[in-house]
Amino acid sequence: MSISERLDKMDYGPAPEDASDALAWLVDQGDRFGHFIDGAFTAPTDGFQSRNPANGNVLANLSQATQSDVDSAVSAARKAQGKWAKLGGAGRARYLYAIARLVQKHARLFAVLETLDNGKPIRESRDIDIPLVHRHFYYHAGMAQLMDDELPDREPLGVCGQIIPWNFPLLMLSWKIAPALAMGNTVVLKPAEYTSLTALLFADICRQAGLPKGVVNIVTGDGAVGEMIVNSDVDKIAFTGSTEVGRKIREATAGSGKALTLELGGKSPYIVFDDADLDSAIEGLVDAIWFNQGQVCCAGSRLLVQESVSERFYTKLRARMDGLRIGDPLDKCIDVGAIVDPVQLEQITRMVSANTEGHMHQAKCAIPEGGCFYPPTLITGLSPSATLMQEEIFGPVLCATTFRTPAEAVQLANNTRYGLAATVWTENVNLALDIAPQLVAGVVWVNATNLFDAAAPFGGVRESGFGREGGWEGLSAYTKPKAKRKALAQIEPFTGNDAGSDPIDRTAKLYIGGKQARPDGGYSQGVYTKQGAKLGDVSLANRKDIRNAVEAAQAAKSWSKTTGHLRAQILYYLAENLSARTDEFAKRIDAMTGKRTGKSEVEQSLNTLFTYAAWADKWDGYARGVPIKGIALAMNEPVGVIGALCRDETPLLGLVQTMGASMAMGNRCVLVASEPYPLAATDFIQVLETSDVPAGVVNILTGNHTDLAPHLAAHNDMDAIWSFSSSPVSKVIEAKSTGNLKRTWVNNAQSNTPAPRDFLSAASETKTIWVPYGE
């Protein structure tokens, strides 16, 4: 072929990466691996094979962990944890820094091994995954160095069980291990069955760094091994994977006291407005959906294009798709590599074949024979309810529809049970910053996509899970307050005799939607002093009353859009009106509890209202220092509707704490009053009625905590459940919350006194908005 012919054709020639060093490393290990436990590799046992998905070649034989292996790993981690924590942040920082340096030194070995094992293009492993891995260890080395000064009231959780997926094997490992170690925890990690090799190479790096034995333990195997870790004696479970498995883990850990973070599935919208730079949006879309063959939890798999430019955009997109190169992942000129395993390939093929809607276009590129390859696919004209628009495909398949107005774009984007990420393309900065806060997603990229950094929180809402990885938010998930807890005894109400009661009816009603309401069930019960004198009756709420209260809270969504200043003014007003009735509330509390603490509790309640009023316009987000030309804004948003079982022992303060934090952050709440001492809450209804609190923002129920807890937790229009009750309801709340994977904050039958910052953190959700700038 002549030079002129080559210039006309402009084909990329092959540029294969040399895999000999990675293959030699496997040979040096005997192509057989045991587990990494207590600082050493165990003897290999028969288990399963790791294969190259591009050609089916066996790379290594891995061991299937047994219960004994998991127990040994947890025991080693437990033994090492105390010394590792006592080493101090500065001491731990040295080890994390050493790991970061070693990963950097062996970057090409890690990149090649990752591509061999996972099937992603070498350019992605080399230029994205591995740099982010050592970035996470460098960043968290700094966090460890700062911990003693910046987090003096926090301490490590203990032993963390970590389970990671196959799409970003080493990167997910760094997201989990780096913050855990920085805060003084030890770990037992299970990599995905398909992609364990870079985790084992990382174990070798830990030995080279001189990491103390037992600090990092890695066991390999299938999902049964993950189940063993979940049920083992660990203090936290961190899981990244499917929503289905996340639900099972939530159920399995319910009532155990184990901390839990879940980063689950997604069906992320990619919104293109008519004023967007269409060519740039298309290049971004290539990264959004065909990066890592679409096997990305936050892949922009739902394309929403403004109708006026949709045909032009689709035409350009199809042309760009036809220019994509699919083939050997080790070829540096390849855009799309191999699907991780035949099982996943079959799943993608089956889902696409079952679709009967729209028009499908598959890239006109050569598909290699053998191996697990699937062509980049675009399906346009789908209805919002189509299966492919709602269900996660986890493959290189883009589903598209159109919209006409920004409001419709938001409605379509939020029409999913997931809430992990979203992308907005527009040249109008006002439009971008108007749309981003409206999207129900933990991460929003503006005129960019798939940007990640250790300093920027990443995580989802709804059925995409809860918790954040990265930044200070990620660290908090690996720490706990230093305050010691004690077992919480259930407080029983006083009993008495109704004889001689005041003939005037004194039955306190429920407070729903800004009005006092009779209970649906028509039942009430007496409240008595310690001496048995009757103070009055309270209504007994049931699940229908919960339904009505949640509906009222959902109808008060405008509260979440109010300013912090306005919310502060109303909280101050509540405090003023409560202050005017100090003596009345103090006497009521003394009468109910049989103590002389009423005056002090009212004063604490007033101080609490003033505290949350003060925080209402100060619990700010901030810009994160990320290594791009742009900023990552970590913005605090309301959680939504919060249900809470209030503290029993302090009937007014317990109500005010939960209500104040909820209101300050813009949430609406359904509060179940102290079970033994409910009249302080029902008296407080009159304060609410005279303090300009909008209807539905605060709803108050009274009744049996054990009876109401499962219905409150199971309600799918509830976004979070808190429990400070003395009744043993933590397990049922966590178990019943799996329907929509709502956030939970429970006391596990232990006394605790959370600080205002703990309440504010629980009452807010971090949304990270990435905004690149410049030409």
Distances (CA, A) of 162 to 174, 177, 216: 11, 8, 11
Tell me how far the alpha carbon of residue 179 is from its chain's centroid: 15
First to last CA, the chain: 39
Closest by CA to 376, choosing from 355, 358, 392, 362, is 362
Please give the helix or strand (H or E) that residue 187 lies within, else none. Answer: strand 186-190
**Six-digit token pair at 149?**
């000064």
- Alpha helices (runs of H) in 34-167, residue ranges in sequence order: 67-86, 88-105, 107-118, 122-124, 130-150
Question: Strand 36-37 relative to strand 40-41: parallel, antiparallel, unpaired?
Answer: antiparallel
Q: Would residue 297 show up in a list of annotated catalytic residues for this protein? A: yes
Q: For residue 324, give both structure tokens.
A: 């994509």
Pick the catalytic residue from 297, 399, 646, 669: 297
Please, what sign has the CA dihedral across residues 162, 165, 166, 172?
negative
The answer to whether 323 and 317 are in contact (CB under 8 A) is no
DSSP 566: H
The 3-state DSSP class for residue 60 equals strand
Q: Which helix (H) or strand (E) holds 63?
A: strand 58-63
3-class SS of residue 638:
strand
| Angle formed by the axes of helices 67-86 and 223-230, nearest 10° | 50
**Kind of pairing between the strands at 421-425 and 269-272:** parallel
Distances (CA, A) of 204 to 20, 72, 218: 19, 19, 11
Q: Which of 263, 463, 473, 734 is catalytic?
A: 263
Q: What is the CA radius of gyration of the chain?
A: 28
Question: Is 263 annotated in the active site?
Answer: yes
**Among 708, 706, 713, 707, which Cα is nearest to 739's?**
713
What is the C-alpha to C-alpha distance for residues 375 and 290, in angstroms, rounded to an integer? 10
The number of angstroms, rounded, from the C-alpha of 391 to the middle of its chain's C-alpha atoms is: 19
Catalytic residues: 263, 297
